[in-house]
Structure 1
């Protein structure tokens, strides 16, 4: 009996724990910093560009610079097995008498071996400093790729926060719609009681029921939109698409306006400007690498070789073995005095390309200043709209409360009450939109100032 009681207790505790854990999972809140961390670790665009950064890091290595010598080693071996038969003709002695021919010489399984090995070193001592500037270009290309990764991270962060705040907005809207539905249901219950006691006609009940259906449809649509937005958020974070059993933080903290504006005084950290400046630097160094083609090249070389041969005997010579080694050193001077004008043409084209990059930098500077001015205007306008919408919500909330009281006293109809209710819902949802628009405008300004990833989102 005690054993059954113990098992029953364990089962009860297990199901209680499972229910509590399920409820906790269902109500888990995805914080903004957690969402950003998931994005940084899992987003496909960020992962792809980080791989590009690794390639650029490999390219800037000393192993890819051309500063190290090239070393070549060769080795070989030959083997031969020969059978031979040598026959001799007749000869004459000093008196002219014909001598009988020598007996044929037969040599079988005559093995010959050859071995050789060598190692050579070539080093480019001077190439007109082309290698030096090419190495600087590789270093700058790594920095450029790093900036491009940062640009992707900033753009993806803005995309993430836009979707995150959309989930938050739809969550708050759903709460407003659900509260509206509850108020309408209470009105329908009250109208039903009043109708049973003969205080109102059936029309009041029917109006309330129609409004319940309308509000129910609104709630269903809001829930579906919220589920879709959560899937969009999961896609940016590269999580399970249908893992929508979570909520987000709907608290929005707007930074002081003066603090945001202070970041705009210096926009040197704007990633677009930094990328454009990096491209200008690369093109200027490219001019120097092209000039190197007009200068002589000096190279050094060295080679050490070893050979061994093992030859079998022959009809005329005995077997022999030979070994030799040799060390060779050399220097070369190469100067392509005139290559038909290709190097000169390449130099002129490099100068034009560098000038184009400088023009693009000037264009980018003006575009960034334009974008900052527009974003600042949008930010200040969004703040003003949010403040006005906050006041509008309070006005409509007071109006709805008074309308409810007047409806209870029979001083207004349900149609007038319904209009006050709709006005309050519209004001609340518009305020939600204005709040998140103001926050996104703030984040866009921070991105243009190069401060997005340095701030708490």
Structure 2
């Protein structure tokens, strides 16, 4: 028993020294760190950069294409000539050199408005990537605060477990004195020792789980997992939520609804893009170049040079493509219809989910009030039982039961408090208000 007590004292000393001077990680600081370092959020931001690059004018086909070409050729031949009288003449090492260079411009003047709709689609795709990043941020914040409030719950429980342990140690000391003076039995002293051990184990296990949860939160925040800190255990609740107001906000600001609405817009643009294939394409082509050739003196022209500007238009109209464009347009319309059905389904599911979340939140607040009352009752019961125990009017078993009842009531109150806060955050996410909330 003495050995166990020494271990407990050593553990408590380490915990106290570890907690001294620790960082207090506020909810606002956790949000800021996550926005800067969370791995999922960083990937989402990079995806947004890709979508922004794709939506640039440089990826729109609105700008002309300019190409440059140059070349040089050298020939060294042996030529044989046959005159009309049959006489043959051979010329060896006949050299010829040819040089050419040109610069050309191609520009599409009209393509059935296909590139116009493509450019709009790229911009809307970028807007969709913003919504996807926002969804990732919301989900990440929910994960972070779920873990944050778990740490807060464990922190509060550690305090009440430590307080209960101190009460059990005081009872053990009192029981030992009573045993030394013949007022208590050996069994009563052993029971007190068992209770001290059980309270110590509960406290040590809670500290272990707390340390693991802190590492989990550090991982979500994208920082060194061994960073130690404390959290703010205070929570605030907004008591005046109105279901109708939440439902109206959800229809407009819910991320999934916004993403689906954006997908419907993109499907409409796909229909127009495919329809553009029914129209002709008009292109402008222009070039400027020169060609120069140096020939052996045996040729009529020893040197020839040509240069000039060329320009023209070309019209291409795919009058019938075997029904390929028609099929694409029909399929794009079907996809658009499916998205509308999905939006109707999602709207109904969202109304159900918001209503359920609202009821869960109200119920959580009711349980919180009930647990607060329960703690008050158990504190009063324990206070009176403790007084009677000191006077020898109740047994150690009755005292322990009152102590355990208070311990459970306080633990349940902590759990109810943070369950209610998590329920509130889920309700706010569904209504699209999570990122506008003061945590």
- Does TM, scored on the shorter chain, surpass 0.5? yes
Q: CA deviation at 1:242?
A: 2.5
Counterpart of 1:254 (choices 221, 237, 256) is: 237
Deviations 1:322-355 (A, max 9, x none): 2101322111221111111111111111111111
Q: CA deviation at 1:127?
A: 1.1
Q: Which residue of 2 aligns with 1:361?
A: 343
Q: Which residue of 1 aligns with 2:35?
A: 40
Contact 1:260 1:446 in 2 (8 A): no
1:109-120 mapped onto 2 (5 Å cutoff): 111-120=95-104
Contact 1:113 1:310 in 2 (8 A): yes
Counterpart of 1:334 (choices 299, 316, 336) is: 316
Q: CA deviation at 1:78?
A: 2.0
Counterpart of 1:177 (choices 143, 155, 161) is: 161
Q: Which residue of 1 aligns with 2:334?
A: 352
- Measured in 2, the distance between the counterparts of 1:85 and 1:333 equals 45
Q: CA deviation at 1:370?
A: 1.0
- Measured in 1, the distance between the counterparts of 2:102 and 2:197 equals 92
- Measured in 1, the distance between the counterparts of 2:314 and 2:75 equals 39
Q: Which residue of 2 aligns with 1:126?
A: 110
Q: Which residue of 1 aligns with 2:418?
A: 436
SS at match of 2:253: coil
- Measured in 2, the distance between the counterparts of 1:80 and 1:348 equals 58
Q: Which residue of 1 aligns with 2:249?
A: 266
- Measured in 1, the distance between the counterparts of 2:178 and 2:315 equals 110
Deviations 1:398-437 (A, max 9, x none): 1111110000000000000000000001001110000001
Deviations 1:230-284 (A, max 9, x none): 11101111112222x2111111111233479754443211111110100111111
Q: Does 1:78 align with 2:61?
A: no
Contact 1:25 1:246 in 2 (8 A): no
Contact 1:260 1:442 in 2 (8 A): no
Q: Which residue of 1 aligns with 2:142?
A: 158
1:411-426 mapped onto 2 (5 Å cutoff): 411-426=393-408
Q: Identify if the C-alpha distance between structure 1 residues 260 and 228 changes in structure 2 by more than 3 Å, giving closer, same or farther.
A: farther
* Structure 1, unaligned runs of 5 or more: 1-21, 93-100
- Measured in 2, the distance between the counterparts of 1:87 and 1:275 equals 78
Q: Which residue of 1 aligns with 2:435?
A: 453
- Measured in 2, the distance between the counterparts of 1:299 and 1:46 equals 44
The CA RMSD over aligned residues, in Å, is: 2.4
Q: CA deviation at 1:128?
A: 1.1
Mean Cα displacement is larger for which, 252-261 or 140-149?
Answer: 252-261
- Measured in 1, the distance between the counterparts of 2:90 and 2:243 equals 105
SS at match of 1:116: strand
Q: CA deviation at 1:133?
A: 1.0
- Measured in 2, the distance between the counterparts of 1:107 and 1:332 equals 46
Q: Which residue of 2 aligns with 1:13?
A: none
- Measured in 2, the distance between the counterparts of 1:420 and 1:339 equals 86
Q: Identify if the C-alpha distance between structure 1 residues 188 and 451 changes in structure 2 by more than 3 Å, giving closer, same or farther.
A: same
- Measured in 2, the distance between the counterparts of 1:397 and 1:259 equals 35
Q: Identify if the C-alpha distance between structure 1 residues 133 and 319 changes in structure 2 by more than 3 Å, giving closer, same or farther.
A: closer
Mean Cα displacement is larger for which, 425-434 or 339-348?
Answer: 339-348
1:99-248 mapped onto 2 (5 Å cutoff): 111-243=95-227, 245-248=228-231
- Measured in 2, the distance between the counterparts of 1:437 and 1:155 equals 17
- TM-score where L is the length of structure 1: 0.87
Q: Identify if the C-alpha distance between structure 1 residues 260 and 197 changes in structure 2 by more than 3 Å, giving closer, same or farther.
A: farther
Aligned residues: 422
Counterpart of 1:293 (choices 271, 277, 283) is: 277
SS at match of 1:411: coil
Q: Which residue of 1 aligns with 2:12?
A: none
| Bigger radius of gyration | 1
Contact 1:111 1:312 in 2 (8 A): yes
- Measured in 1, the distance between the counterparts of 2:313 and 2:391 equals 110
Q: Identify if the C-alpha distance between structure 1 residues 85 and 355 changes in structure 2 by more than 3 Å, giving closer, same or farther.
A: closer
SS at match of 1:257: coil
- TM-score where L is the length of structure 2: 0.91
* Structure 2, unaligned runs of 5 or more: 1-16
- Measured in 1, the distance between the counterparts of 2:375 and 2:172 equals 25
